[in-house]
Amino acid sequence: MFSAVESRRLYRQVADQMRSLIERGELAPGSRLPAERELAQKLGVSRPTIREALIVLEVEGFIDIRMGSGIYVTARTVPALDAPPEDFEGPFELLRARAVVECAIAEEAARLARPEHIAVLDDNLARMATALEDRRQALALDREFHVLVSGIIANQTLNRFVGSIHDMRMTPYFEKLASYFENTDTWRAAMEEHRVIRDAIAAGDPAAARAAMRAHLDQSQIRLSASFGEEQSDSTIPAAWRRAGGN
């Protein structure tokens, strides 16, 4: 109700003011702030007060104080110079992340795979063959395949990441998008690519496994792009999904 006139503490006010400047981006990351003595004069407070405010910001991670050198704004968030912000992750971005991670996983999986792992992959492929017409089932089996490949490495952290990355495809947005380009033929093609991956892993050929996974994800991107080409005029597809599609 009466919100006590908090923050009578001057150094808190100074810290708040500077923090908002940094958060608002008016102080570029990496740039140097004026010297303590100068700040004190400009803000009309004493140097100890300035120092106390700066210590607050340093503990909070906003600035970096270097003895004898100066005070610098921390580069906490990636500059993202030309790659624009926007916290939305489109399917292209997801595919790029998968290309980086899953290729490495396939490579490693080929080194560690044992007959039991191959058998499980074969089982997955067999079920996939009977589910090409059922979008939901096909999608679930696709996810299962990639998680199984990751599972060969037997690393919880990686497994969770691969799982979560595929879970993003289960959101309403992606499902609507998927309806534009997923069909029996695309799932059949994906399954064939899965088979190539499976063969490379079974052969214990890391390079081939990596290449096969790369080819699979590249093809997925091509299928996705093609669908955009056909439907491009359809405004139901957010424009943001098209950017950052690069290689």
Partner DNA sequence: AGTGGCCAAGTGGTCATACCAATTTGAGTA
Partner DNA sequence: TACTCAAATTGGTATGACCACTTGGCCACT
The residues of the shown chain that bind DNA, judged by CB under 7 A, are 8-12, 33, 35-38, 44-49, 51-52, 54, 65-71, 130
Report the residue number, 95 or 231, with the smaller CB distance to a second copy: 95
Residue 85 has what DSSP assignment? -
Instruction: In angstroms, give the least distance from the CB of 230 to a second copy.
Output: 26
Which partner in DNA, a second copy, none is near 135 (CB below 5 to 8 A by kind)? none
* Planar angle of CA 247, 151, 186, nearest 5 degrees: 45
- Asked if 91 contacts 174 with a C-beta cutoff of 8 angstroms, the reply is yes
Instruction: In angstroms, give the least distance from the CB of 127 to a second copy.
Output: 6
**DSSP-H helix ranges across the chain:** 10-23, 36-43, 47-60, 91-112, 115-129, 135-151, 156-167, 172-181, 184-202, 206-231
Report the residue number, 10 or 244, with the smaller CB distance to DNA: 10
Which partner in DNA, a second copy, none is near 177 (CB below 5 to 8 A by kind)? none
Which partner in DNA, a second copy, none is near 73 (CB below 5 to 8 A by kind)? none
What residue ranges bind a second copy (CB under 8 A)? 8-9, 11, 29-30, 48, 51-52, 55-56, 59-61, 64, 66-67, 72, 75-76, 78-81, 83, 87, 89, 93-94, 96-97, 100-101, 103-105, 108, 114, 116-117, 119-120, 123-124, 127, 130, 140, 144, 147-148, 151, 153-159, 161, 165, 168, 244
Give the span between the Cα atoms of 102 and 105, in whole angstroms: 5
Written as one letter, the residue type at 23 is E
- Say what the alpha-carbon torsion angle 149, 152, 156, 158 is, to the nearest 10 degrees: -40
Rg (CA), the chain: 26
